[in-house]
Structure 1
């Protein structure tokens, strides 16, 4: 079984790798005392090659800015706890559930919406809790899709993953599994044949790659993606809109086109969640809407993800892109095209 290469899990490790140009400050120590740190060897090489203070680095390296909080920021910004009937299960939508088997990741993103609950020492599900989670799925026949989230599910051992997927394969109403992961960009060596065997051992699997900047799509990352899609496993992507990192049409356009060249369909562009200490990453919704309209005007429709906000309190995702309908008067509409120009349209549907 392939495992992640040795990386950095402390400020001292980061300093030894040359990833803290200003050294360990008291403010950074406060951040490290509260939030988990992990940068894989693969990512540290990517950061050093690209720019130790650049767009990739800022996603993973701790910053004193994380000590600043605003009143609206929350420990549980999308309301997982309110929709968790048993440990490890979040049932927010009718036909699908999140299954969080573990609370550790190969890397810890500085904007993570679960940053208060993930990290070394956090307990995943024990065998009894895992059985209870599977029983919940088994007894709720409306559940068609099981979404593995995290902690990063692809850091599970292939043996453990195959066991869980084998159990799900015995539940007739489960038709799809989905895995949200950083592993192909953070630790591409972990995408082993054993892992791919496990992913294909259960219900139809989709892999959703979390990637925010084109510099993360290194040669090794693209090779890991190729191994996944080469096994017939479809891939989508999710990105977070991050101020100063990918909040431009140029960067997002390059990212989404690079993903498509690697057979990964851009799926979600998330507006930044209200996680504590992440305000320096957030754009305004209006800025995000402008970016989506610019992408739609100048790029293939395949490049355009759903721009969404996960509402606080557990109400779920809502679309944020501006609508094409400007106004309506009965069957008469005014529609906005991809360049922002308005056009009249008369609905041709027969009255009933």
Structure 2
């Protein structure tokens, strides 16, 4: 079936011809029935997916399977690595333990107990996320995080899933039935009250999961209270989403697509910037007609699209990949925003790129694009004290050091203040680094220990 999609908004009108697609999901229950899995994977590979998929979340869909993965390049295809669990994503002892309990026919509660024991060893809440939950009066706002002065994260309870799951996801505990690990809020009333009280907040980031799994009606129920309330400090509503990469048809021919896009327009017409924070991890995600059409329809509502991704071994640890990705994004009207370092959780060791390698890839890719793409920042670690950028490696008194900088900090006064760490060619995270100055701690650590900033 061919779908005739009207370009949305007032920037450009016309007709786009694109085949429609009905969303079909694959999980542990039915992935083995995928024709490409049957023809391209060995029994051992299928077994590994089943074992690892009982610990880490696994969900993929027909768009990813049919249009993104190169099944002639298995298992090395980056989108396959991005979406299908791999054996080495677990430590050998953990893999063997889970494989054994699966082969012995454990009951579902027994299986969950073993899986949760393994999960608890994978740092399920990195960067002190539970410390970011604010309080309003006597209410602990478990669906909100407030780490940086100007920005509040909001976790709608209806966005606690995604169109497909990334194997590197740092919020993986929310998708594996660990209810005590979830951040979620059903109503926006408390969010509105919090924003009215905290006038320093200018940005609200809708996150999850993925807010774009919600119906337009449900999404509107979260957005409308923000638009109708008296919150003069609210300047930007952000949507953190992977939908453009995993299900661009959400913005083309889902049953309520036009209604959803009208909500985007409504936000913009209210004088609030709508920033679509799109996660793209590889250039392959930008090259289908579906994603290019979806991007245009979103931009035509007046929203802006900013792009971000972690740098990951086996997926995008290449200068050419990053330069190509940024060029493609700019060509399509998107704004490159962040290169992140893969967080210290889940399958981090599988995807880890050293800080030095990440910086070298970033620098060389940055040098290979025009100034219009140099809006991107990185490589950045979203660590407990804040977003720490690796500015480079330099020599001071014949000694190599890392030059670091806060892009964001729990204390805003830390931002833009360069500091140094001893060079460590094996370091993959901030916790691997030591101060260069001879001090026992970095300049921010004493304050981090004394107080949990911005929580009251």
TM-score, normalised via structure 2 length: 0.65
Mark the structure with the bigger radius of gyration: 2
User: Quick one: distance in 1 between partners of 2:382 and 2:145?
Assistant: 15
User: Quick one: distance in 1 between partners of 2:264 and 2:78?
Assistant: 31
Consecutive unaligned residues in structure 1, runs of 5 or more? 329-352
1:95 aligns with 2:150: yes
1:211 aligns with 2:268: no
CA deviation after TM superposition for structure 1 residue 48, in Å: 4.3
User: Quick one: distance in 2 between partners of 1:233 and 1:13?
Assistant: 36
CA deviation after TM superposition for structure 1 residue 189, in Å: 1.1
1:190 aligns with 2:261: no
User: Quick one: distance in 2 between partners of 1:11 and 1:75?
Assistant: 24
Within-5 A mapping of 1:254-333: 254-304=324-374, 305-312=376-383, 314-322=384-392
**Inter-CA distance 316–35: structure 2 relative to 1 (3 Å threshold):** same
CA deviation after TM superposition for structure 1 residue 277, in Å: 2.3
User: Quick one: distance in 2 between partners of 1:17 and 1:210?
Assistant: 28
Superposed CA RMSD: 2.7
Asked whether the 8 Å contact 1:39–1:60 carries over to 2, the reply is yes
CA deviation after TM superposition for structure 1 residue 297, in Å: 2.6
1:180 aligns with 2:250: no
Within-5 A mapping of 1:107-118: 107-118=164-175
User: Quick one: distance in 2 between partners of 1:311 and 1:187?
Assistant: 26
Residue from 197, 200, 220 that aligns with 1:139: 197
Asked whether the 8 Å contact 1:185–1:211 carries over to 2, the reply is yes
**Inter-CA distance 311–235: structure 2 relative to 1 (3 Å threshold):** closer
Corresponding residue of 1:333: none
User: Quick one: distance in 2 between partners of 1:89 and 1:183?
Assistant: 22
User: Quick one: distance in 2 between partners of 1:175 and 1:285?
Assistant: 34
Asked whether the 8 Å contact 1:72–1:274 carries over to 2, the reply is no
1:56 aligns with 2:127: no
Residue from 61, 64, 81 that aligns with 2:130: 81
**Inter-CA distance 3–321: structure 2 relative to 1 (3 Å threshold):** farther
**Inter-CA distance 173–130: structure 2 relative to 1 (3 Å threshold):** same
User: Quick one: distance in 2 between partners of 1:215 and 1:5?
Assistant: 20
**Inter-CA distance 185–61: structure 2 relative to 1 (3 Å threshold):** same
User: Quick one: distance in 1 between partners of 2:316 and 2:89?
Assistant: 19
User: Quick one: distance in 2 between partners of 1:112 and 1:299?
Assistant: 28
Greater RCO between the two (CA within 8 Å, min separation 6)?
1
User: Quick one: distance in 2 between partners of 1:17 and 1:47?
Assistant: 15
User: Quick one: distance in 2 between partners of 1:200 and 1:193?
Assistant: 10
Consecutive unaligned residues in structure 2, runs of 5 or more? 1-19, 95-117, 135-140, 252-256, 398-456
State the number of aligned residues: 324
TM-score, normalised via structure 1 length: 0.84
User: Quick one: distance in 1 between partners of 2:241 and 2:63?
Assistant: 15
CA deviation after TM superposition for structure 1 residue 326, in Å: 7.5
User: Quick one: distance in 1 between partners of 2:146 and 2:340?
Assistant: 20
User: Quick one: distance in 2 between partners of 1:121 and 1:201?
Assistant: 36
Corresponding residue of 1:104: 161
The structure where helix makes up a greater share of residues is 2
CA deviation after TM superposition for structure 1 residue 111, in Å: 0.3
- Aligned to 2:276, the other structure's residue is in SS state strand
User: Quick one: distance in 1 between partners of 2:246 and 2:47?
Assistant: 28
- Aligned to 2:53, the other structure's residue is in SS state helix
